[in-house]
Amino acid sequence: MTGRAAVLGHPIGHSKSPALHRAAYAALGVDIGYEAIDVTVDALPGFLSTVHAEDSWRGLSVTMPLKAAMAAAVDEVRGVGEALGVVNTVTFEPGHAGPRLVGYNTDVAGIVNALRYAGAPDAPSAAVLGGGGTAAAAVAALRDLGTASATVFVRDAVRAAEVRAAAAGVGIDLQFRPLTAAALELPGYDVVVSTLPPRAADGTGADLAAAGAATPGILLDAAYDPWPSRIAAAWTVGGGSVVPGLEMLLYQAIEQVRLFAAVDGPMPAEVIDVMCDAVGAPRRVF
């Protein structure tokens, strides 16, 4: 029987996850189909009730705006996802009353590996744009890189509950600054992670371009469509290194494939190559 997997979110039509996962399963010779399904927060409980009624599901990838809601809906959260209260990955395990849903967060590994591949230093000075679920993963990733404190730029610090909870869970100190101040301050950081939705950082990008400041650090922009984003273009002009969100997506997807397809040990290099090819990313050089 063909296994099922999917990426859930709203909106979801732009997602490149199907291309990544389908390429990986074909290369592994694993019979798992993968699709994109539009699911809102309100519709999530009903969707999960249908999932519980089927035994073909192998995994779910979870994107905005469902990451916190999914953490509350699964039967168990493991790993760093438990500390964050945010999951982007769900696996299925046998249970007495049907499958047990187990949540993980592979966004953290995705960010860490993308930044390391780009040459991020140990314990970088760091800033994050945004305060939601992906920002929560970003502060956990920065802690893994050795950063003890980070600055978070948000429109409204009162609404940054997810990133505050994540910081408390992983033991990193946060300072909050208004998003309007970001363009003047970001050039001073070794690493900047923008977790804002597509086009939401355009104003900061325009301000950076207008300031004409040097940007010697690394920018990871989680938004990968359209690309290059305005902030990524301005960062490049300033002389800095830019890591597209596609890199983060690739590395977190590698971890999801490992879980969904029950891959033991390191992911074969040839599988990573076809995943890169599927989304037009450069092949890895290790």
Q: In the 8-state DSSP scheme, what is residue 282?
A: P
The two three-digit tokens of residue 48, written as one number = 């999960």
Q: 3-class DSSP state for residue 55?
A: coil
Q: Is 67 a catalytic residue?
A: yes
DSSP codes, 188-204: G-SEEEE-PPTTTTHHH
Sign for the CA dihedral angle at 36, 41, 47, 48 comes to positive
Q: What is the C-alpha to C-alpha distance for residues 207 and 64, in angstroms, rounded to an integer? A: 26
**Secondary structure E strands in the chain:** 3-9, 32-38, 57-62, 76-77, 89-93, 100-104, 126-129, 149-154, 173-178, 191-194, 218-221, 241-244
Measured CA angle at 110 (ends 141, 165), to 5 deg? 40
Catalytic residue among 67, 109, 187, 191: 67
Q: What is the C-alpha to C-alpha distance for residues 106 and 49, in angstroms, rounded to an integer? A: 24
- Beta strands at 57-62 and 89-93: parallel, antiparallel or unpaired: antiparallel
The two three-digit tokens of residue 198, written as one number = 């597509």
Write down how long the chain is: 286
Count of CB atoms within 10 A of residue 173's CB? Answer: 12
Active site positions, annotated: 67
